[in-house]
A and B are shown apart, each in its own frame.
Chain A
Amino acid sequence: MNLPLINRRSGNGKATSASPAAGGLVTLDDHDEQSRKAQWSADKWLIAGALLLGTNAAGIFGLPLFLFGLKKLRDATKAGLSVRPIMVTLIGYLVMVDAGLNLQGWILDLVGNHTLIYRVLYTAWGNVFDAGYFWHYNQLWIGGASAPGEKAWEVALVLVVFPMRIAAAIAFLQMKRWGYQWLIVTCWFGVVIWVGYTMNMTVFADVRYDGVVFPVIGWWIYDIMYITPFLAIPYLHTVNREIFSD
């Protein structure tokens, strides 16, 4: 079902209802066109921002771009245009950034584990937060992290979950029903990841935390920012799904 989104938006609707009186008739097509333009104008900033956010080190330069795009979207919403809700925008982009950052670290550990930058900065990260990325590093036949079970998580998540999550997030941002459905599916994958991964770390806590600079609590403070699925799931199960069209 492809419901028209006109008048099913935030804002009080005064802006659109005032327009015809002020400047003549506004047709549904005009409104549609204006909304589409406003959406794309905001998305250009949001996409540029999100690409930088996903790079780690250059993320700080992406944040102003992203926030500016968010502001443009909010202004368009307030002006009564039919644009994507802020929550959908935030969840979609956060899922992409979260998945992108995870992919970056894990793909490098899988195939770039002998690069100098990885052997310095990422094993240093391991030494500070999680010695799974320091202990016997590059001793396993496949290279990279040697912590028990870690490679299995990496392969499963890099090859299956995170690409699926990024695809779902893109379709979700396009307000497609399959994007919404697959975001629910992959957010529940995210819950499985969190429970399985933290349990693995707990069982092999000596390997992960002995001799580490900021063990356990440090890891939690650092990694709690990846808790995206737990914030997205309550929204996804309570939002009116009819706003996502087939």
Chain B
Amino acid sequence: MSKSTSKTDVLAEVDSQNDDLPLGTTKQYARMHRWLKRGILVCLVGLVIEGSFTLPFLAIYYGYPTLGFRDICSELMKVRYSDDSLECKYPYDFPGPPFGGAPEGAGITTAKDQWGVQPKPEYPRIGFRELVRIHDERIARQNGEKAGAGHP
């Protein structure tokens, strides 16, 4: 057998081994590529499911549709800065920071933190639809105060 014939044979053998494999995948790495493909499919489907359901889930968790988006925005702001008097400004002046005025939180100093090189926030964890309860209780309290003010 000549040298060139044996080389052709080897190439033919390699070709037949790779015949059932995807383009670019050699037999040596076929198993790894198969597992990577599975991982990639899982990630792709995972990203889609997350992307589709996270935002509706968040809206419901924080009180929609009982609370409108403006209410939720304000409630989150009250929790963030531990100040019940804060309200979300909507619509915000266009174009907004950095070139169109100060950001919404500028100058607010009521946020509770343990300040240091690694700040530690002290706002409470918000439970499922807890903003609805917080919102309703505050409105009831304000209404009660108004009613109380009428009877000295």
Contacts and interface: CB of A to CB of B under 8 A. Distances in A.
Interface string B84-95: 000010111000
Interface range, B side: 35 or more
A140 B37 CA distance: 42
Nearest to A225: B46
B105 A138 contact: yes
A207 B111 CA distance: 13
Interface centre among B21, B51, B72, B108 (most CB of A within 10 A): B51
Contacts of A11: 20
Contacts of A85: 22-25
B44 A90 contact: yes
A2 interface: no
Contacts of B76: 119-120, 123-124, 127, 134
A177 B2 CA distance: 36
B103 interface: yes
A227 interface: yes
A132 B60 CA distance: 21
B36 interface: yes
B146 interface: no
Contacts of B90: 116
A128 B92 contact: no
A139 B81 CA distance: 11
Contacts, number: 209
Nearest to B20: A12
Contact of B49 (A55, A60, A66): A60
A114 B122 CA distance: 24
Interface centre among A87, A134, A207, A227 (most CB of B within 10 A): A87
A87 B53 CA distance: 27
Given A85-B25, A136-B105, A211-B125, A117 B69 contact: yes
A239 B121 contact: no
A125 interface: yes
Interface stretch (A22-30, A94-102, A156-164, A189-197): A94-102
Contacts of B126: 127, 211, 213
Contact of B125 (A66, A94, A213): A213
B48 A59 contact: yes
B22 A227 contact: no
14 contacts: A13-B19, A53-B51, A56-B54, A60-B49, A116-B88, A121-B58, A131-B121, A135-B121, A139-B103, A143-B104, A210-B122, A222-B50, A224-B46, A235-B32
Interface of B: 19-26, 28-29, 32-33, 36-37, 39-41, 43-56, 58-59, 61-62, 69-70, 72-73, 76-77, 80, 88, 90-92, 96-98, 102-106, 108, 111, 118-126
Interface of A: 5, 8-13, 53, 55-60, 62-63, 66, 77, 85-88, 90-91, 93-94, 97-98, 101, 113-117, 119-121, 123-125, 127-128, 131, 134-143, 203-207, 210-213, 222, 224-228, 231-232, 234-235, 238-240, 243
Given A98-B47, A243-B24, 4 more contacts: A57-B56, A87-B33, A124-B62, A137-B80
